[in-house]
Amino acid sequence: MRKRSVRSLFALLAISALIAAACTSDEDGGDGETGGATGEAGGPIWVLLPDTASSDRWEGDDLPLFTEAFEAAGLVNGEDFNVVNAEGDAATQQSQAEQAIADGASVIVLTSLDTGSGATIIDQAKEAGVQVVEYDRFNTGGSGGVAYVSFDNVAVGAAMAEAMEPVIDGLGVDQPQVVMLNGGEEDNNSFLFRDGYAETVEARVEAGDWALVDDQFVPGWDNAEAQTIMEQILVSANNEVDAVFAANDGLANSTINAVEAAGIGPIPVSGQDATAEGIQNIALGLQTVSVYKPIQDEAGVTAAIALALRDGEDYEAAATSYTSELASGGSAVTIIGINAADGTPADSADGEGVVPYIALVPIGVTIDNIMDTVIADGFRTVEEICTGDIAQTDFCQENA
């Protein structure tokens, strides 16, 4: 398991203190409205993760972070909580949700594979009296969970644009040819990420400064499909592509592979998740930015919310306390609203069809601030990044 920063460990321990100070014990009884299928508080918490293919964060970061947080609060793995992965199969995730309901779960933390299956799970769980926290990915078309925890996804895309724009302008190209390679259309976040960087791209294209070569979504965030799409874009454009807004580090690496195979580049490429591979690509000069979403904060605040819901307590107070006092990585939080029907921002966190959205602030990571962000926070280590040929990069030579 990756070594965590001292701040992250303090945060995990503090979750336990925060919840213990406020919660009602099982023996004292719950409020009868926040429990699992039996309607009683204190049932197990189930975390349903989507896959291992779209990003290595789900098994490498989220699983151990949830495990640490729940164990720090005194819960027993396999009894009081379960963290499972659907391995990319919607039917498997549906089965896991049904197992959680049958287990008398009080709370399901759900990262769905697609909005349709996710909305079905939410509606089914709510009908059984199980509360659902939508985690990282929002599910449109259903009734919505108790809360949605993620980063401000439009801000994620905007952070990519903030880092990419000056680099593209500095290429010395008369009219840079730009591609937008978005995530899967089945994931509402893909549209929000795109909104964030498209605002800059479309403004520069309209001004005549840049030209938009292509704007495509990658089904299922599939990295192999992304490479095929990028190869086709390069062929159609006669390799005249100067920069790519790729929506995460997996798509960024697929782009880099396609660009290298075409014998061009490196070119400015964006990404997100601050994966080890993404940071390595930045060190190698193959990727410009990876947006760091301090997952320890996202998982930490979600764990605090789930624990509060499990015990019939005020989850908004738990979220606010966690993020204001304990969060690492410089993340702040706002509680806004998101419309369950279509995933668009709402005017407030209240109202019919609106899900409270606990939105954390992301951080753009470039070669200039790797040490001050993901390394300082213990999310990545120099040893993890500086392996093989990457050890010879200027970044590793200066910091190893």
Q: What is the pLDDT of residues 54-107, one digit of tens each?
A: 888 899 889 999 999 999 999 999 999 999 999 999 999 999 999 999 999 999
In whole angstroms, give the CA distance from residue 232 to residue 27: 62
In whole angstroms, give the CA distance from residue 146 to residue 126: 9
Burial class (CB in 10 A: 0-12, 13-18, 19+), 170: exposed
Q: What is the pLDDT of residue 388?
A: 96
C-alpha dist (Å) from residue 104 to 23, 34, 36, 82, 97: 19, 12, 5, 12, 11
In whole angstroms, give the CA distance from residue 294 to residue 331: 7
216 three-state secondary structure: strand
User: Over the stretch 260-317, which tens digit does the pLDDT of each residue have?
Assistant: 999 998 999 999 999 999 999 999 999 999 999 888 889 999 999 999 999 999 988 8
Q: What is the pLDDT of residue 324?
A: 55
Q: What is the pLDDT of residue 132?
A: 98
Going from N- to C-terminal start, the domains of the chain cover 6-145+294-361, 153-292+365-387
Sheet holding 177-182, edge to edge: 211-217, 177-182, 243-246
Q: What is the mean pLDDT of the chain?
A: 88
Class of domain 153-292+365-387: alpha beta
**CATH code of the region 6-145+294-361:** 3.40.50.2300
Query: In sequence order, which residues have a C-beta less than 8 Å from that of residue 215 and are 6 or more positions away?
Result: 179, 180, 182, 198
Are the folds of 6-145+294-361 and 153-292+365-387 the same? yes
Q: Tell me the two tokens of residue 389.
A: 């040929």
Low pLDDT (below 50) residues in the chain: 1-40, 326-329
Q: What is the pLDDT of residue 54?
A: 82
Q: What is the pLDDT of residue 329?
A: 47
pTM of the model: 0.74
